[in-house]
Amino acid sequence: MRKNIPHSGLDAVDLSILKHLQTDGSMSTPKLAEQLSLSVSPCWRRLKRLEAEGYIRDYQANLDRRKMGLDVMAFVSLSFGNVGDKQPNQFEALIRDHAQVLSCHKITGEADYLLVVLARDLDDYSNFVEQLRAVPGISSIHSNLALKEVKFNSRIPLDM
């Protein structure tokens, strides 16, 4: 592992804290301190600093989408007729609050946006697409359905 990431302000202990928490976000501070061979107080202070500086955005459990009844995962690329209009901004505001959308990225290439969407089944996904079609300014919507999840990971590599 690198001793530090250039320009990040993180040292090897900070990176180790982040690595441990990415593996087990529910790890208690005393357990984390034990893993790092630190006393609890310095570990807690470092952890709070990493949270305050935004390196740690939040904590969450990673759920199995299929066990939750969300059998369809779609990758949706969409384009606007004119990206200079206000319509893309309105779309972004709308999509931020849409629970089915796991992520939305403004991208380069043939499309303007790429979304990752979950749905219970194809009918549920079809309803989502109908909602997209009602958004003013969208000129094309292309869907790719995931057939098999080969790899899923939300952990940021800290040892590159």
Q: Which amino acid is at 103?
A: S
Q: Are residues 109 and 47 in the same domain?
A: no
Q: Are residues 86 and 138 in the same domain?
A: yes
Q: Where are the beta strands (DSSP E) in the chain?
A: 72-80, 101-106, 113-119, 138-145
Q: Are residues 43 and 107 in the same domain?
A: no
Q: Which residue range is the domain that position 21 belongs to?
A: 12-52
Would 58 be classed as within a structural domain?
no
pTM for the predicted model, two decimal places: 0.82
Q: Are residues 135 and 82 in the same domain?
A: yes
Please name which of 25, 18, 24 lies closest in space to residue 1, comparing C-alpha atoms: 18
Spell out, as residue ranges, where the chain has pLDDT lower than 70. Answer: 1-7, 83-84, 160
Q: Are residues 80 and 26 in the same domain?
A: no
Q: Are residues 87 and 139 in the same domain?
A: yes
CA-to-CA dists, residue 153 to 44, 98, 140, angstroms: 26, 22, 29
Q: Are residues 96 and 44 in the same domain?
A: no
Rounded Cα distance between 3 and 48, Å, is 21
Would 87 be classed as within a structural domain?
yes
Output the pLDDT for position 106.
95
Number of domains forming the structure of the chain = 2
The full DSSP string for 53-64 is TTSS--------
Output the pLDDT for position 123.
98
